[in-house]
Amino acid sequence: MNIALFASGTGSNVYNIIQHFKSNDLINVVAVLCNKAGAGALNHAKKAGIPTLIFSKEEFDNSIKVEEFLAERKVDLVILAGFLLKVPQSLIDLYPNKIINVHPALLPDYGGKGMYGMNVHNAVIAAKEKKSGITIHLVNERYDEGATIDQFECSLNQSDTPKTLAQKVSVLEKSHFPKTIEEYILKIK
């Protein structure tokens, strides 16, 4: 099973997923794709010797460059690991139930357009929520509305800030995202 990671930023999840599957004979991270030149995610891939592709939003919407790259590497499953662009319908059609995203909140709350990264954590803290967490879900044509695979929670108290919440969410992502991907692969294989 060949997986491709899509990322837009620092890539701590990309790094963690690469490490997790490094010694796995069944599941290989064969590509890292990114819409931002210079993003940390690309460095993690290069250090691990994994091929990368950088593309613009227009190239992503048009899809051909990305689809060819995925086909050349025989990618079976796509993982959005901190990826912020909306996935075009053609890619969703090419990978039905085979695109997984991690969202830094408990969907359906705090999802949708504009809800990513610190925007999510700012909104959760402003609403004085008692808990937040992560949602690992399949991607469909609507932002953050695909079927949930699993959710993991963290509790919040009055002293939490968007920054401390981001750290709690990051810990949850590192503990659960790679394992949940692995379990999903074993289920669909």
Q: Decide whether 21 or 116 has the Cβ nearer to ligand GAR.
A: 116
Q: Is 81 in the site for ligand GAR (CB under 6 A)?
A: yes
Q: Is 178 in the site for ligand GAR (CB under 6 A)?
A: no
Contacting ligand GAR within 107-126 (CB under 6 A): 116-117
Residue 15 sits at φ, ψ, to 5 deg, of -55, -45
Which amino acids are annotated catalytic? 103
- Residues near 181 by beta carbon (within 8 Å), at least 6 away in sequence: 3, 17, 77, 79, 100, 136
Q: Decide whether 64 or 126 has the Cβ nearer to ligand GAR.
A: 126
Q: Decide whether 10 or 164 has the Cβ nearer to ligand GAR.
A: 10
Q: Is 104 in the site for ligand GAR (CB under 6 A)?
A: yes
> Binding segment for ligand GAR among 30-38, 46-54, 64-72, 77-85 (CB under 6 A)?
77-85
Give me the residues that bind ligand GAR (CB under 6 A), please: 7, 9-13, 81-82, 84, 102-104, 116-117, 169, 173
